[in-house]
Amino acid sequence: MLTRLCLAFAVLVLSLPSSIGAAEPLALGGRRELFVDTSLLEPLEGRAQLRLHHPTPREVALTLNEPWEGNSSGYATVIQEGHRYRMYYRGHRYLLDPPPLRQAQSEVVCYAESDDGIHWKKPALGLFDWPPTQNNTGHKQNNIVWRGGAETHNFAPFLDTNPQARPDEKFKAVGGTTSSKGLLTFASGDGLHWRQLSETPVVTQGAFDSHNTVFWDPTHQRYTMFTRFFSEENFKGLRSIGVSFSTDFRTWSTPVGLTYPNSPPQQMYTNQIAPYYRAPHILLGFPTRFVARPLSRQAQSLEPVQTRKLFYESIRESGAYTGAEVTDGCFMSSRDGQAFHRWDEAFLRPGREGEGRWIYGDNYQSYGLFETRAEGPGLPNEISLHFNEGAWRDEMHRLRRYTIRLDGFVSLNAPFSGGTATTVPVTFTGDRLSLNFATSAAGSVRVALLDAGGKPLPGFDLTDCDELFGDTVDRTVTWHDAADLSALAGRPIRLSFALQDADLFSFQFVSAQ
């Protein structure tokens, strides 16, 4: 009897399809894929690794020195609309000396614009007076685009790319704090003349006194809002980030906290999360990390020494800070909007001590990546982003532009001794494979195409691949000088990348022009 049962089980197993247990191949289509996580990769081989890269500082983009701006200006948002770049930011000033810390003026929303994303101007809009008068009848030669209540603290606009968006709601925004009992919504047809949409807050659970962000997510066909959040109720636990969703921008889900698998607990201000415009199925985030340190002798000696003393004296009675707190910029990514791969190493460090950015309030990244021309002729465009510096210092508070190569946040990297990475099974459309990579003079990148089981396809092994070397954001892969992959389109394959002293930033299947 036992023998017959064993035979029957063996026959059943042998009769099952061989694909049982195998995952469906990932349909890439023609989208670009970045190496910001390992979700597309099998375990790395050799000395291959994922490497975080860092932005390069450029010129000062904007000095926040107008009477309605000042040392607490910030939470900037940049929107690229064709050849026009728009910037929105809070104008505000605190008085530190003599203590206690207090507001010098009410908060306002300011506007700047640029034709190239590099040179910015503050237009005289003539919308709101400064200093404020009861009936808005005063001097209006300023760049104030909104003046109101709590929403001016963190007014966060975005360009609504929802195809169903009304023309008079082409631009939308959220803003508000606990004093407004949550986040209010706003809309504008031209990005300059704004009106309040919601009479009451649309999201009420959270802390909000940070840069809360929102966008239309084309991948999931919904609006997504990221807000300031705490890991425990009643504003206890870790400073964190919450997420809420809506299909109509009017009714929102209850925020839930983000998760960070394999990353230790850390204090997060801001979030700066948005779909990456070159690969919108991937969300990239640039939160500010808050690090509370004891006021040691070394901490007291870090520049800006005098500002640190003034700040500590101005808030000492609250007991909230020691004056040794420091903020820096981080990087994270997600494919579902809730679980994020967060790098524990800084994306932007506070920098050299003499530059005076080792203080709470500096190194906050603005919201929005935008593409700009490179400084040299014949070079590909770069991604620009802003960080603030000079917080609490009227004479120094400003936004500095930084740049990073296209897709250049994280690379698949290997040293000269080499490393290999193989993808999970995928399908694609198109007939060419394009890579964004950089090598040393002695380095190289090669690509093999394998079947779903991992066996090299004839003519597409590593030894068939023509060696790639150089530094380019768009190079077509060839095998024996041939690039055509149309015969493989729609067929489950794997890609195997062999690197030697090289960084591979992204890949994409494209169609020949």
> Which residues face 283 on adjacent strands?
275, 334
Give CA–CA dist 31/297, Å, rounded: 52
Helices (H), ranges, 197-304:
297-301
In three-state secondary structure terms, 290 is: strand
Q: Are 202 and 187 in contact (CB under 8 A)?
A: no
Fold assignment, 56-405:
Tachylectin-2; Chain A (2.115.10)
In which region does residue 117 sit, left (phi positive, over 0), alpha (psi from -120 to 50) or beta (all else)?
A: left
Element (H, E) at 8: helix 2-15
pLDDT, position 206: 87
- Radius of gyration from C-alpha coordinates of the chain: 26
Give CA–CA dist 2/160, Å, rounded: 67
Give CA–CA dist 69/91, Å, rounded: 4
User: Pairing state of beta strands 26-29 and 426-428?
Assistant: parallel
Q: Could you read off the pLDDT tens digit of each residue along the chain, which spans 513 residues?
A: 444 434 443 433 333 333 334 579 999 999 999 999 999 999 999 999 999 999 999 999 999 999 999 999 999 999 999 999 999 999 999 999 999 999 999 999 999 999 999 999 999 999 999 999 988 988 999 999 999 899 999 999 999 999 999 999 999 999 999 888 999 999 999 999 999 999 999 999 988 999 999 999 999 999 999 999 988 877 788 999 999 999 999 999 999 999 999 999 999 999 999 999 999 999 999 999 999 999 999 999 999 999 999 999 999 888 888 899 999 999 999 999 999 999 999 999 999 999 999 999 999 999 999 999 999 899 999 999 999 999 999 989 999 999 999 999 999 999 999 999 999 999 999 999 999 999 999 999 999 999 999 999 999 999 999 999 999 999 999 999 999 999 999 999 999 999 999 999 999 999 997
Domain ranges of the chain: 24-51+412-510, 56-405
CA angle in degrees (0–180, nearest 5) for 213-215-218: 150
Place of tokens 């994409």: 508
> Which residues face 497 on adjacent strands?
421, 447
Query: Is residue 239 exposed (0-12), middle (13-18) or buried (19+ Cβ within 10 Å)?
Result: buried
- What class is the 24-51+412-510 domain? mainly beta
Give CA–CA dist 41/35, Å, rounded: 9
pLDDT, position 49: 99
Give CA–CA dist 277/491, Å, rounded: 27
Q: Dihedrals φ, ψ of 72, to 5°? A: -120, 20
pLDDT, position 22: 56
